[in-house]
Amino acid sequence: MLNPSPTSKTSEMSKTLKFRNVLITGASGGIGKALAEGFAAKGANLLLVARNESALKTLAAALEKKNPKIKAHVLALDLSKSDAASKLKHHCLEQNFSVDTLVNNAGYGVWGQFAELSLQEQLDCMQVNVTTLVQLTHEFIPMLKENASKGGASLMNVASTVAYQAMPTFAIYAASKSFVLSFTRALHHELKPFGIAVSTLVPGATESNFIERAGLQHTAEKAKKVTMTAESVAQIGIRGLEKNQIEAIAGGLNRMMAGATRFLPKSVLEHAAESIYRK
Ligand SMILES: NC(=O)c1ccc[n+]([C@@H]2O[C@H](COP(=O)([O-])OP(=O)(O)OC[C@H]3O[C@@H](n4cnc5c(N)ncnc54)[C@H](OP(=O)(O)O)[C@@H]3O)[C@@H](O)[C@H]2O)c1
């Protein structure tokens, strides 16, 4: 259905949204793990995806122990592979796991000068942060549409506050998150008539393995003062999805900074970013 009849589904949606079968990418740690805990506490069955199978299994066992009414399944998958999204869809069909909530959380950054970093490393990052996210979204929208009429369906994509500006020495990562933000905002409008809630979770600095994976250990001390817990960020994301918030920016300081990017000159913001990330 290309042009579904207009409805007041947005307000209905938030009242009826139930998380039944939630697929979360990047659930082996950090924000994804905290999202899994948050959705499990709401009674959702889960499919947890990442590469680290043992971390996923430990989390799944802990979640099932805490809430014996839910099932937490795991799938070890490398989302930097171009066929990852179709494999994941196939897995869900095979396992009869009908996804009503898709959470595209897996992602990471690579810090350094664009020209000096390996091209392949940066293309892999784009594959995980952008291409696989798009492929997964496309693969699962038909399932979300089916489930929207059976109690609600939703999509959460995880962007970042770096989405609001260019970031010298974090060029690919910031650009990838600008893509996620813009893409998700567009889908929010496109999928509203189908009764699918679509929200972008926009975290700022958050406790996780992110800094280490990105090679940003030298910023850890500076970031500490403004770092939020993964649990509080996940709660903001889940509430944002329940309210069908187009952007759920985590925390007052991050909301203020995001707002400031609308009126501060770009060159000022870009110089500031460069000095924050400099070694
Ligand atoms: N922490 C921050 O300060 C911050 C700020 C803004 C936005 N974010 C965003 O929040 C999201 C979660 O990051 P995090 O902070 O929780 O970092 P994290 O602790 O490093 O978690 C990243 C997750 O993504 C998964 N992942 C990475 N590469 C993957 C691959 N090739 N295939 C499958 N899974 C992969 C990791 O699992 P495996 O390693 O087991 O594969 C892990 O579960 C990311 O999209 C990140 O960009 C984070």
173 noted as active-site residue? yes
Confidence of residue 221 (pLDDT cuts 50, 70, 90): confident
Q: What value does the mean pLDDT take over residues 15-33?
A: 92
pTM, two decimals, is: 0.95
Segment 58-85, tens digit of pLDDT: 999 999 999 999 999 999 999 999 999 9
Distance CA 178, CA 186 (A): 12
Catalytic residue among 108, 164, 173, 277: 173
Place of tokens 């869900």: 92
210 CB near ligand 1 (under 6 Å)? yes
Domains of the chain: 9-277 (3.40.50.720)
Average pLDDT, the chain: 94
Expressed in angstroms and rounded, the spacing between residue 194 Cα and the centre of ligand 1 is 29
Residue whose CA is closest, atom 36 of ligand 1? Answer: 26
The phi and psi torsions of 194 (rounded to 5 degrees) equal -90, 0
Distance CA 264, CA 279 (A): 25
Q: What percentage of the chain reaches a pLDDT higher than 70?
A: 94
Ligand 1 pocket mutation pick from 25, 108, 132 by most atoms within 8 angstroms of CB:
108
In one-letter notation, the amino acid at residue 193 is: P
Distance CA 55, CA 104 (A): 18
β-pairing verdict for 196-202 and 72-76: unpaired
Confidence of residue 257 (pLDDT cuts 50, 70, 90): very high
Catalytic residue among 9, 33, 89, 177: 177
89: pLDDT strictly greater than 70: yes
Residue 104: closest CA among 162, 143, 156, 59:
156
